[in-house]
Amino acid sequence: MPLDKTIQNILASRSTRTTPPLHKLSPMQARENERMGRNIFEVPTDCTVYDRLVPGMQGLLTARIYTPKGPGPFPILVWFHGGGWVMGDLELSQTTPINLCTNANYIVASVGYRLAPETKFPGPVEDCYTAANWIRDNAIHLNGIPNKVSIGGSSAGGNLAAAVCLMTRDRGNPNFSFQLLVYPVISSDTNTESYRLYSTGYGIEKADMDWFIKQYFNDEKDLLNPYAMPINAVALDKLCPAMIITAQYDPLRSEGEAYAIRLQNANVPTDYICYPGMIHGFFSMTDILGQSIHAVNKSAEKLISISKG
């Protein structure tokens, strides 16, 4: 399918900017540019929002808790934002938690994990593992249902969510109910079909991904670790059910599809949806894209189904 017309306009607008490309910036400059483009956040009326401290690998982290209206208790989705492990924060990443909270009637706990390069691998993923398992073990204190806790994330957050599911299985903890992976980073291989087709000009670029990887990982040996790149896991059996969402014009599309196939071959119930005409980042564009609304609704439907299972 051709590139969506709204997406074409977004990319054309981005191409006229005079700021240097992301991979030419320092992490601090990249974060500042991201903050400058921040939209004014409006407090939602159909869910309550508050921050609380949760444990991480080496100290307390902030989790932003989105709770639906009503008495509860509710199922919980632990969410990890994107940003290449370097950017993003709880303020910038509120659209998807609110959408999933209100559409699926879930508590969404968005975890503010530590960022690279100040905290290199495995610090951020260990933060996410510690926080997610604490939230599940203490679900009742959040007005949640202890045996109905799912996990998810987008882009680098999808990488963290997939890795946390592997870590939870490998370390003998109870599985989460479900994993929602939205255009996740699953592999460091940039020679895939989607990278060859869409490495430049479609939002996120190969040079940007190389830059993110350089910031997060200590050396090439890290990239072989399945908790760094989940495609490297020897076995994917005994993981929780999954939904993987990708975009046609996203360089990360091929690795998301490959991971879905591997999960299915390991007899893990897995839904895979690739949205035609879309680019990386479309999932949060519900204010302008019908495909985004559809993707959020499909995710919410799956979460609701999982909570009733």
Q: Give the torsion through C-alpha atoms of 297, 298, 299, 300, to 10 deg.
A: 50
Per the annotation, the verdict on 250 as an active-site residue is yes
Taking alpha carbons only, the member of 85, 79, 82 closest to residue 64 is 79
Catalytic residue among 177, 280, 284, 292: 280
Q: Give the torsion through C-alpha atoms of 112, 113, 115, 121, to 10 deg.
A: -170
Q: How far apart are the first and last CA of the chain?
A: 35
Catalytic residue among 188, 250, 254, 307: 250
Per the annotation, the verdict on 155 as an active-site residue is yes
CA-atom Rg of the chain in angstroms: 18
Secondary structure percentages of the chain, helix, strand, coil, to 5 = 40, 20, 40
Catalytic residue among 110, 150, 154, 155: 155
Per the annotation, the verdict on 222 as an active-site residue is no
Calpha distance 286→296 (Å, rounded):
8
Q: Looking at the annotation, which residues are catalytic?
A: 155, 250, 280
